[in-house]
Amino acid sequence: MKKFFACLAISAIWLYAAPWRESKSFTLQKDQPVKVLVKGEGQERLLSFRWTLYTDKALVVHENFDRFVGQHILYASHTNQSFRKRLLPAKKNERDAPYVIIVFKQFDEGAKTARMDLLLIDKEKRVELEYLTEK
């Protein structure tokens, strides 16, 4: 019986262990930018994103990193609720590359705001993020 509870406790800890090193939530108005300075390996680069349209439960998000722009359509309660942006190239294999995931959590119809989370996955601690937007 003790082994059962020990296995159960270890499984619960393993399931709730977050794979990301850092997370930050933002509540954004339309066209309100989030700016994050990405520092790593002697470089400083700017990551920015904002949402421009919410229609049919879909949020249109524009992102810009290192002069490359992108547009994503995200759904809060769907499998396509996030996008991934690699911050530095991989050293040994693709799993080592640090990246962020931007997740669309929910849209507040009354306030016309979108709640989004930024998650940093960086096992080797190669980058640091400085949030230039504090919302």
**pLDDT tens digits along 116-135:** 999 999 988 999 999 997 65
Residue 77 is assigned to a structural domain of this protein: yes
CATH code of the domain containing 59: 2.60.98
What average pLDDT does this structure show over 14-41? 85
Number of domains, the chain: 1
Q: Is residue 104 part of a domain?
A: yes
Rounded distance between C-alpha atoms, residue 71 and residue 76, angstroms: 16
In the numeric block, which tokens belong to residue 84? 């991934």
Please check whether residue 109 lies inside any domain of the structure: yes
For the full predicted model, state whether its pTM sits above 0.85: no
Assigned domain for 11 exists: no
pLDDT tens figures, 29-62: 999 999 999 999 899 999 999 999 999 999 999 9
Per the structure, the complete domain to which residue 58 belongs is given by 20-131
pLDDT at residue 17, rounded to an integer: 54
- Residue 13 forms part of a structural domain: no
Distance CA(28)–CA(114), nearest Å, equals: 5
